[in-house]
Amino acid sequence: MSQELTSEQIQQALQGISVPPQPQIMVDLQMEQYMPDPDLGVIARLIAQDPGLSGALLKIVNSAHYGLANKIASIQRAVNLLGSRSIINLINAQSIKGEMSDETIVVLNRFWDTAQDVAMTSLTLAKRIGSQTVDESYALGLFHDCGVPLMLKRFPEYMSVLEEAYAKAGPECRVVDTENRILNTNHAVVGYFTAKSWRLPEHVSNAIANHHNALAIFQDESGRNAPLKNLLAILKMAEHVCSSHRVLGNQAIDHEWNSIGHMVLDYVGLSDYDFENLKESIRELSAH
């Protein structure tokens, strides 16, 4: 997505949608992170002040994806294990939740669960296929749909629009095309502006903007989209493994994956058989 959007275009895309500000703890953590030598002790002390964050952090580090022999209860140890960049991603995710009303949070329970699943699956896939973008893949998994709760806050009927969008998804119609037609904006654009306002890395923001544009991106065989393809390939595999089409779109069939899956697997060099095995082993991990 071009960065040269006029303020009118941004206004139009975000009509009535408020992008949540970065929480203060986030600002403090980023300041620490940009120090020449970030102090993980300071980061752990900041997180320990926030019960919601502390709980989310321990839940992730104790999940089967990390494969620890013993559960961890120490924020300091969790921070040491995850590293500062993963921590920053986690806090951003929590702050979207903080913007929501109680009723919206209940409606979105399946959304929060799937965002975390997709993030952990992206992390695991990136490691398994030897990708250089493990941190970015995790961030993209966590935030690719961060526009969804913001859209729901603005448009109460949004979840039914999203279901229609997933039902019609395929080579001729992207998920975001249905949203644009009905609502004049879409969750990928809103997510992009949220990611930019939170200073996520530019290529992660671009991947959020384009995550329902994968068909056109993988059809373009020039080398210029390599960073975007690397991130989107992992995200699209992770969404398929986590059945996002079922969780968010209430669809029995993953229409989007059916139109792009072969190109994605080709790009990362996996056969259908390899991917099926990978999918099974990751689903077993998530079941623990």
Q: Tell me whether residue 247 is exposed, middle or buried, using C-beta atoms within 10 angstroms of its C-beta: 0 to 12, 13 to 18, 19 or more.
A: middle
pLDDT band at 256 (very low <50, low <70, confident <90, very high): very high
- What is the structure's pLDDT at 36? 76
Report, as an integer, the average pLDDT of 16-26: 62
- What is the structure's pLDDT at 83? 81
pTM: 0.75
Taking only the tens place, the pLDDT of each residue in 88-138 is 777 766 666 666 566 666 566 667 677 878 988 998 999 999 998 887 888
Q: What is the CATH number of domain 101-288?
A: 1.10.3210.10
Round to whole Å and give the CA distance between 149 and 155.
Answer: 10
Contact 196, 205 (CB under 8 A): yes
Taking only the tens place, the pLDDT of each residue in 43-69 is 888 887 776 677 777 777 887 777 777
Taking only the tens place, the pLDDT of each residue in 65-88 is 777 778 787 888 888 888 877 777
Round to whole Å and give the CA distance between 187 and 210.
Answer: 11
Report, as an integer, the average pLDDT of 187-215: 88
| Higher-confidence position of 237 and 103 | 237
- What is the structure's pLDDT at 98? 62
pLDDT band at 40 (very low <50, low <70, confident <90, very high): confident
Q: Where are the domains of the chain?
A: 22-98, 101-288
- What is the structure's pLDDT at 2? 38
- The residue to which tokens 């398994």 are assigned: 128
- What is the structure's pLDDT at 99? 60
